[in-house]
């Protein structure tokens, strides 16, 4: 570092050098720690190219087959996604309750009435809320909250398909 008269200040320069050495040393230690952790993780990863015999490959039918490791970030993202879609399904059911019409049905309500709405009407109301209406409807049907004819609903073609709120 230079002072105002153009002379270097050696004491400050050596302090900066010491700081650089500490920083590089810290970077090296952090990199080595990450590398060691990654190598250990790869030992247990059945999809790595590691050919060690102690790698256990999950088999179909096992409880943990097709599931992320407990406590992993992948597991947390899955839980967060499940919570988010559950909220969207509940919101969809509320929209159907609000815009649907009560009709006589076979079950559903305690008084023998169910709430129904045509897909076209639901699409027009729900499109401002979410652009994933059909996916949320399929999820709600899988959870037995709604029912409708057909495997998939298409805007325009299926506007008159009746969607029944089951719960």
Same domain, 136 and 106: yes
Same domain membership, residue 157 and residue 106: yes
Q: Are residues 52 and 77 in the same domain?
A: no
- Residue 1 domain-assigned (yes or no): no
Q: Let me know if residue 3 belongs to a domain.
A: no
Domain that holds residue 49: 8-57
Average pLDDT over residues 126-134: 75
- Tell whether 19 and 91 lie within a shared domain: no
On whether both 45 and 115 belong to a single domain, the answer is no
Residue 163's contacts (CB-CB under 8 Å, 6 or more residues apart) are 96, 116, 117, 118, 119, 122, 137, 146, 147, 148
Nearest to 95 by CA among 58, 133, 66: 133
Q: Does position 112 have pLDDT exceeding 90, yes or no?
A: no
Answer whether residue 64 is part of any domain. no
What is the reported pTM? 0.57
Question: Residue 154's domain is classified under what CATH number?
Answer: 1.10.10.1540
Q: Is 70 exposed, middle or buried (0-12, 13-18, 19+ CB in 10 A)?
A: exposed
pLDDT (tens digit per residue) in 13-29: 455 555 555 688 888 89
Provide the domain count of the chain. Answer: 2
| Same-domain pairing of 103 and 149 | yes
Taking the CA of residue 128 as centre, how many other CA atoms within 13 Å lie in the half-sphere pointing to its CB? Answer: 4
Is the pLDDT higher at 105 or at 132?
132
**Residues 137, 163: Cα–Cα separation, whole Å:** 9
| Whether residue 19 is found in the same domain as residue 47 | yes
2 pLDDT exceeds 70?
no
* Listed residue (154, 163, 160, 143) closest to 101, CA to CA: 163
DSSP-assigned beta bridge partners for residue 113: 104
- pLDDT per residue as tens digits for the range 82-97: 999 999 999 999 999 9
pLDDT of residue 32 exceeding 60:
yes
């Amino acid at each position: 570092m230079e002072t105002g008269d153009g002379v270097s200040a050696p004491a400050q320069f050596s302090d900066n050098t010491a700081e650089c050495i500490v920083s590089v040393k810290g970077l090296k230690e952090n990199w080595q720690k990450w590398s060691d952790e990654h190598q250990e993780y790869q030992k247990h990863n059945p999809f790595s190219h590691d050919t060690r015999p102690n790698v256990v490959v999950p088999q179909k039918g096992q409880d943990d087959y097709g599931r992320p490791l407990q406590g992993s970030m992948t597991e947390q993202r899955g839980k967060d996604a499940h919570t988010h879609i559950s909220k969207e399904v509940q919101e969809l059911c509320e929209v159907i309750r609000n815009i649907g019409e009560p009709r006589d049905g076979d079950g559903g309500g305690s008084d023998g009435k169910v709430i129904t709405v045509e897909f076209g009407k639901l699409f027009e109301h729900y499109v401002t809320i979410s652009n994933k209406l059909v996916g949320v409807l399929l999820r709600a049907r899988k959870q037995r909250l709604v029912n409708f004819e057909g495997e998939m609903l298409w805007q325009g073609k299926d506007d008159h398909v009746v969607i029944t709120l089951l719960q």
